[in-house]
Structure 1
């Protein structure tokens, strides 16, 4: 499914895969699972199968329908590097991203070692194309190994989503990371984020020259707590890594 996104850090979502399984505490209250399971058993609905893993070959051409450059979050309703997704289908997704190269693609995973291994094999002769951004989710200090896996890919456009942030990350080396997104959990049973946790990551980003984006405090709904951290919005974005033709097209609307 490809559609305009309400996520603050992207323009649109593209889901050539839907459904997933849990791999850590950051998945406990998964918004995508909660949404998809509402439709389980509804014949003809895109989520008739609920949150079971499903590949959608028919959606591989969707980025070509958008002629104007966009920031596209890939698989907001899944994880492209789920162990049960065949490598040949991942190849087809990357083929589409490479061909429709007037967009920026934001690929986010919790399966960081699988992403690292795939990307190293696919781009063994050089760097990942600059319009394909690779990111990992890190919810607490116990999962910072994902950062090291991310650093193992040859890319200028590496980013991290610290959302939902579930604990203090005392120190992590973010040198070489372009962008960090920080946010609290939202939805039923949302676990609260402490201000000190967000401040610590903001300070680490400042130290390591990483663009810092504070997405939300979270709560019952995504906007329940607003977006202010210490009285201001933090909208850092790594414009310097956006390829120039795409940057020229995006700037009037996005900057």
Structure 2
């Protein structure tokens, strides 16, 4: 778990699982894989096994010890709904999140149908907690089916991470979506993001009354191009009462 995250839309990260496998064009230049593989074979390092999927039960209770409320990005270095993460372990992660109600948890996945099925089972007879937000990654128009999976998921707050934005997103149906993050790719092989693609997302959020957060232009380093879009920063959150945390 890391406090003081450099990710602009969260406060901290919590990784009860690390490692993943690539399943989509948005994964091609994954920052988490690039970072993890630097340490493969380094004895005793948390990423001694590189980006191999690793379950970390010793981290399951970490958020319970953080008494100051935070927004916490869950599994910034993995995907909680990877097919090799055991369902009982996902249950433990959700039990921790439900207990630590003073935090806001941001759960993001590309395995959107798996998350939908899980949430339907878990909250079949009860309302999903307001402090657990669920989101899907959508890198271009070809990945928009994940939005439908998210819309069909029981969740108090649903969000999209349109990052890395590597192509025009086209028309967006944002019914029952509460927040959209957009940003360009970073790293040595970063694919450029066209300004019209970012505007397309922003303008549709404005038209449909959805909070919009512009994370970065990207480039060789995440901060290379800054965060300004058409002369201003866009820092909207789905709940204005916590806006100050990432402003």
Listed as ranges, the matches of 1:1-255 within 5 Å are 1-239=1-239, 247=241
Change in 2 beyond 3 A, CA 1:100/1:22: same
Q: Which runs of 5+ in 1 are unaligned?
A: 241-246
Larger mean CA deviation between 76-85 and 124-133 belongs to 124-133
C-alpha separation in 2, matches of 1:97 and 1:87: 15
User: Partner of 1:243 in structure 2?
Assistant: none
How many pairs does the alignment contain? 247
Q: CA deviation at 1:254?
A: 5.5
Contact 1:73 1:106 in 2 (8 A): yes
TM-score, structure 1 as length reference: 0.94
Give the TM-score, by structure 2 length.
0.97
Deviation at 1:126, TM superposition (A): 3.0
Distance 1:85 1:227, change over 3 A: same
Contact 1:175 1:209 in 2 (8 A): no
Q: Secondary structure at the match of 2:73?
A: strand
Deviation at 1:156, TM superposition (A): 2.7
Distance change (3 Å), C-alpha of 1:253 and 1:137: closer
CA RMSD for the aligned pairs?
1.3
Distance 2:245 2:157 in 1: 21
Q: Which whole-Å deviations, capped at 9, do the CAs of 1:105-131 have from their partners, x for residues lacking one?
A: 000000000000000000001331010
Contact kept in structure 2, 1:212 and 1:234, CA below 8 Å: yes
> Tell me, what secondary structure is at the counterpart of 2:215?
strand
Unaligned runs of 5+ in 2: none
What CA distance in whole angstroms lies between the structure 1 residues aligned with 2:158 and 2:126? 15
4+ residue runs over 2 A deviation: 1-4, 250-255
